[in-house]
């Protein structure tokens, strides 16, 4: 993909030397609303959702997308996706709470947590949310809670760990014997047998192998293993599945030299064999679920940030920003690449190499290492791309820096969808004991 097309994919283009995002001048946005600030493009979220939905519809008609809200939990984003027909995937009771606040009905939520407490289960049961278990012992505890509450044990699902994982960083690989997630092959029969004994009547199954996968080959082995265990559960225990959830993990091209994931190949690897198995008539007529987060939300957003300091220390050139790893932790946490571009291309001819750094009191606060950029000046504005997934949700107020605001662009209009935090927010929940007053 050439660079202009790569930018265009993200609704970015230069007009007369100024960067436009979703048809709006980024300099004007930065000056009007202040920086740092997250700017989200509604149309891109809808577009990415629809791309996936079209792929699914071609691959296997009975399907549902559960947007993984951990990537971006803003209520407006949830409302946009719910209006598209999306269901929602949660990893905690706080996320379930957020989903319910967005107005979605509980039957469109799946709770794929891990290390569940009994209170987590109680919350899910009280709110009629389907839970996806990731250990045998959790099944016993969950069943007891159902019984205590006198509620019907209708549907249960387990997360399978296929031992083949993948991801953009070791910390985002979620399958393998050493990994905490899911149930290994040797305990799956035991788990479903017990679930039947305990009175669960309907069944689903789930796997999620990791996050940030751009090479579709990574889905081959885990999918094969997943389908084998599904067939085994049906043939040995007579289980008919209500749904089969293939998880999320679809990556996006963060780097201009990367191509987008090929959804047709993904569909062929994951859905074609699944369809064949369903057509044999032995595993029921399950819905096919996927749980993408990043694919839907990442490219929808940029962070606008201002350069406050240009420092040439004799060895290196630093461009110091008002955004740091408190605003976007992925580069520091995972060594992730986020492309960074100037909002104004004033000094286009002279290209220099910069380390793009934030204001956090740690030398790891680097958003971009050795980036070639047109000569920068203090006061210039930059855009950090692809910040819509795991940007705000992983942000912090470290160094007592209030989190920034979020803006939503819809059809050329700008809506503030989250206020910037204040200093008061930083200390709001603290309690000073009387003897210290």
Ligand X SMILES: Cc1ncc(COP(=O)(O)O)c(C=O)c1O
Which residues are designated catalytic? 361
Contact assessment for residue 387 and residue 338, using Cβ atoms and an 8 Å cutoff: yes
Compute how many other C-beta atoms are within 10 angstroms of the C-beta atom of residue 290.
25
Residue ranges in 316-375 that form contacts with ligand X under rule CB under 6 A: none
Answer for which of 250, 321, 328, 384 binds ligand X (CB under 6 A) is 250
Q: Which residues contact 268 (CB under 8 A, 6 or more apart)?
A: 59
Residue 293 Cβ, how far from ligand X at the closest point, in Å? 3
Of how many residues is the chain composed? Answer: 437
Strand partners, 302: 39
Which residue of 44, 64, 225, 294 would you call a contact of ligand X, by CB under 6 A?
294
Contact with ligand X (CB under 6 A) among 36, 162, 182, 248:
248
Q: Are 40 and 388 in contact (CB under 8 A)?
A: yes
Q: How far is CA 345 from the centre of its chain?
A: 32
Q: Say whether residue 86 binds ligand X (CB under 6 A).
A: no
Select the span of 40-48, 277-285, 292-300, 335-343 touching ligand X (CB under 6 A).
Answer: 292-300
Least distance in angstroms from the C-beta of 245 to ligand X: 8
In terms of C-beta density within 10 A (0-12 exposed, 13-18 middle, 19 or more buried), how is residue 137 classed?
A: exposed
Among 44, 64, 81, 89, binds ligand X (CB under 6 A): 89
Measured from the CB atom, is 179 or 352 closer to ligand X?
179
Instruction: Supply the minimum distance, in Å, between the C-beta of residue 390 and ligand X.
Output: 7
Q: Is 68 in the site for ligand X (CB under 6 A)?
A: yes
Judged by CB under 6 A, the residue of 162, 182, 292, 358 near ligand X is 292
> Hey, what are 394's tokens?
């992983």
φ, ψ for residue 411, nearest 5 deg: 55, 45
* 131/155 Cα distance (integer angstroms): 9
The strand ranges marked E within 170-233 are: 202-206
Number of residues that bind ligand X (CB under 6 A): 19
Residue 360 to residue 303: CA distance in whole angstroms: 17
- Pick from 182, 222, 249, 404 the residue near ligand X by CB under 6 A: 249
Cα separation, 90 vs 96, in Å, equals: 6
- Least CB distance from residue 261 to ligand X, whole Å? 11
Calculate the CA 415 to chain-centre distance: 22
Nearest approach, Cβ of residue 182 and ligand X (Å)? 9
From the CB of 10, what's the least distance to ligand X, in Å?
Answer: 17
What mask of x and - would describe binding to ligand X in positions 199 to 238, judged by CB under 6 A?
---------x--xx--------------------------
- Which residues of the chain form contacts with ligand X (CB under 6 A)? 68, 70-71, 89, 112, 174, 208, 211-212, 247-250, 291-295, 389
């Amino acid at each position: 993909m050439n660079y202009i097309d790569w930018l265009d994919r993200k609704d970015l283009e230069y007009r007369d030397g100024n960067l436009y995002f979703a048809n709006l001048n980024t300099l004007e946005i930065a000056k009007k609303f202040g920086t740092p600030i997250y700017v989200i493009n509604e149309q891109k979220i809808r577009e990415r959702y629809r791309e996936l939905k079209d792929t699914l519809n071609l691959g296997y008609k009975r399907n549902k997308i559960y947007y993984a809200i951990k990537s971006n939990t803003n209520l407006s984003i949830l409302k946009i996706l719910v209006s598209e027909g999306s269901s929602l995937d949660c990893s905690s009771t706080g996320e379930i709470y957020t989903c319910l606040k967005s107005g979605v009905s509980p039957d469109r939520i799946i709770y794929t947590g891990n290390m569940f407490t009994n209170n987590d289960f109680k919350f899910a049961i009280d709110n009629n949310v389907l839970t996806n278990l990731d250990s045998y012992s959790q099944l016993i505890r969950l069943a007891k809670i159902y019984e205590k509450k006198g509620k019907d044990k209708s549907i249960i699902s387990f997360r399978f760990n296929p031992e083949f994982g993948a991801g953009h960083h070791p910390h985002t690989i979620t399958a393998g014997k050493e990994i905490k997630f899911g149930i290994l092959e040797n305990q799956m029969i035991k788990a479903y047998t017990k679930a039947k004994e305990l009175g669960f009547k309907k069944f689903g199954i789930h796997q999620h192998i990791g996050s940030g996968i751009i090479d579709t080959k990574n889905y081959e082995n885990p999918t094969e293993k997943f389908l084998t265990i599904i067939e085994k559960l049906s043939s040995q225990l007579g289980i008919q599945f209500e749904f089969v959830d293939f998880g999320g993990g679809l990556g996006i091209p963060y780097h201009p030299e990367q191509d987008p994931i090929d959804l047709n190949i993904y569909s062929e690897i994951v859905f074609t064999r699944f369809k064949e198995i369903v057509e044999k008539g032995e595993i029921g007529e399950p819905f096919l679920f996927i749980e993408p987060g990043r694919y839907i939300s990442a490219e929808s957003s940029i962070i606008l940030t201002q350069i406050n300091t240009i420092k040439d220390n004799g060895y290196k050139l630093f461009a110091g920003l008002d955004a740091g790893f408190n605003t976007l932790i992925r580069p520091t946490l995972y060594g992730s690449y986020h492309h960074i571009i100037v909002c104004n291309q004033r000094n286009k001819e002279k290209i220099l190499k910069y380390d793009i750094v934030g204001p956090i009191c740690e030398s790891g606060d680097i958003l971009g290492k050795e980036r070639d950029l047109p000569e920068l000046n203090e006061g210039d504005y930059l855009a950090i791309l692809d910040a819509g997934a795991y940007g705000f949700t992983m942000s912090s107020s470290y160094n007592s820096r209030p989190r920034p605001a979020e803006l939503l662009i819809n059809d050329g209009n700008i809506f503030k969808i989250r206020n910037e935090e204040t200093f008061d927010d930083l200390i709001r929940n603290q309690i000073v004991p009387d003897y210290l007053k």
